[in-house]
């Protein structure tokens, strides 16, 4: 069960564990976990198509559609170039992150051990996996600027989406050539704005909650844990403070951040930042007396608004069902954490699994076998389900030749 759970958590880039990664596995086992993280982060289909191009072959139509579902609307003529850019971007970013972390960890553990630690944590952070070679994650480096900036940078780079990065780089090249950069797409605007609001706003609200709960003492006065704890729920899973030390209000905030997760076409999970942005735009547009969803002078396709609503409602229904099952199974040795109760603890574990985050309040390792199987299912559906759902919706989006008669219903 531990092997199955760890393999699922690694390939789904979640980070939840039933045994300590640093001590329970040999060097070979840790290497297998790292390979699964890399494959799961970039996507098995992306790797498969990349290997086809390296072999001089073209992918089949269904493979092309699957990659479009993972990375975004890519023209067929540019698929090979985009796959190459993804692999190069991943290698360069992980390489830079590994070099910085190698230097920092090498000062504490020697250069040979520091290299292994740097490579492992760089790949795990970029792929938003959250696996750590330290038994206490990164709590020993809670106030270390180098480790905090490097890991937060890798998490952001892996969770913002490959097409957003490519559009920003293309815009930078155009600006350097002395030409006027093209207008940012609505997708990129939504990703950047929503990500910024969630990180900065989440850090501010988290600081307020902890300031109130701890009577003005927020983690020794350092702001590094505040920003790190606001970034890591974006499906990364690392932590620099004990999760059980958070107030109930902070746990509720992290539940929301974990549910939203990262951006489309990235290594992260969740319902995605653009889904939240589309729903917020829809509410604002309706409050103005207009239909649909409008933002930045553009109108979101009606089918995408419906897909966003269906994705959120379906995800909430799945989480509700899984939580009821976990609550019915109970923990084998009584309730975990008398201050919170089982509901909040198990809800946190379920959302963390579905959002492929990996943060935990300590319940995962103490679940029964049936409970662990439920978490395994959530991790798998959280990684594959939302993507497959949106892909299937897109495949069926054909404009009908008729409209049904409308009838009024009472709302609210």
The answer as to whether 402 is a domain residue is no
pLDDT tens readout for residues 369-401? 999 999 999 999 888 766 566 556 555 556 678
Per-residue pLDDT reduced to its tens digit, 317-372: 999 999 999 888 865 555 554 445 678 889 999 999 999 999 998 888 888 899 99
Q: Measuring CA to CA, which residue among 121, 155, 126, 154 is closest to residue 138? A: 121
Number of domains in the chain: 1
pLDDT in tens, 114-155: 999 999 999 999 999 999 999 999 999 999 999 999 999 999
Determine, yes or no, domain membership for 139: yes
Would residue 412 count as lying in a domain? no
Confidence band for 254, pLDDT divided at 50, 70 and 90: very high
- pLDDT at position 396 is 59
Give the model confidence (pLDDT) of 190-202 as tens digits: 999 999 999 999 9
pLDDT tens by residue, 32-89: 999 999 998 887 667 666 666 666 666 666 666 666 666 666 666 677 777 788 888 8
Residue 409 lies in a domain: no
Q: What is the mean pLDDT of the chain?
A: 86
Confidence of residue 244 (pLDDT cuts 50, 70, 90): confident
State the Cα–Cα distance between residues 215 and 134, nearest whole angstrom: 31
Phi, psi of 298 (to 5 degrees): -130, 160
**What is the rounded CA–CA span in Å between residue 108 and residue 224?**
20
Q: H/E/C letters for each residue in 103-169?
A: HHHHHHHCHHHHHHHHHHHHHHHHCCCCCCCCCCCCHHHCCCHHHHHHHHHHHHHHHCCHHHHHHHH
Question: Does the pTM exceed 0.95?
Answer: no
**Domain-embedded: residue 27:** yes
Domain assignment of residue 221, yes or no: yes
Find the domain containing 193 and state its range: 2-396
């Amino acid at each position: 069960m531990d092997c199955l759970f760890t393999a699922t958590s690694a390939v789904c880039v979640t980070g939840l564990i039933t045994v300590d990664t640093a001590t329970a596995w040999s060097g070979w086992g840790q290497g297998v976990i790292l390979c699964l993280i890399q494959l799961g982060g970039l996507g098995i289909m992306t790797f498969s198509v990349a290997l086809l191009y390296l072999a001089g072959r073209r992918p089949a139509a269904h493979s092309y559609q699957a990659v479009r579902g993972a990375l975004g609307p890519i023209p067929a003529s540019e698929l090979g170039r985009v796959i190459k850019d993804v692999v190069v971007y991943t290698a360069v970013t992980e390489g830079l992150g590994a070099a910085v972390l190698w230097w920092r960890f090498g000062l504490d553990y020697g250069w040979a051990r520091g290299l292994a630690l740097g490579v492992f944590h760089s790949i795990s952070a970029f792929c938003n996996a959250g696996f750590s070679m330290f038994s206490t994650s990164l709590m020993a480096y809670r106030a270390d600027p180098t480790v905090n900036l490097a890991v937060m940078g890798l998490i952001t780079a892996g969770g913002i989406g490959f097409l957003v990065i490519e559009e920003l780089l293309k815009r930078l090249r155009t600006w350097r050539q002395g030409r006027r950069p093209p207008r940012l797409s609505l997708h990129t605007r939504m990703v950047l704005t929503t990500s910024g609001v969630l990180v900065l706003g989440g850090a501010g609200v988290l600081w307020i909650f902890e300031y109130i709960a701890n009577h003005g003492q927020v983690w020794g006065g350092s702001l590094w844990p505040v920003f790190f704890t606001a970034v890591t729920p974006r499906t990364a899973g690392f932590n620099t403070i004990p999760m059980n030390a958070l107030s109930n209000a902070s746990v509720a905030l992290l539940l929301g951040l974990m549910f939203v997760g990262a951006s489309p076409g990235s290594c992260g999970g969740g319902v995605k930042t653009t889904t939240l942005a589309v729903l917020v735009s829809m509410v604002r547009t309706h409050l103005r007396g207009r239909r649909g969803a409008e933002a930045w002078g553009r109108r979101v396709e009606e089918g995408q608004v419906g897909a966003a609503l269906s994705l959120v409602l379906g995800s909430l229904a799945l989480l509700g069902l899984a939580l009821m099952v976990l609550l019915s199974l109970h923990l084998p040795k009584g309730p975990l954490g008398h201050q919170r109760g089982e509901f909040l603890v198990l809800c946190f574990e379920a959302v963390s699994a579905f959002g492929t985050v990996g943060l935990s309040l300590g319940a995962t390792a103490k679940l029964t076998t049936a409970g662990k199987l439920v978490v395994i299912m959530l991790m798998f559906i959280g990684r594959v389900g939302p993507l497959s759902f949106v892909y299937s919706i897109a495949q069926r989006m054909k404009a009908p030749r008729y409209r049904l008669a409308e009838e009024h219903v009472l709302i609210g």
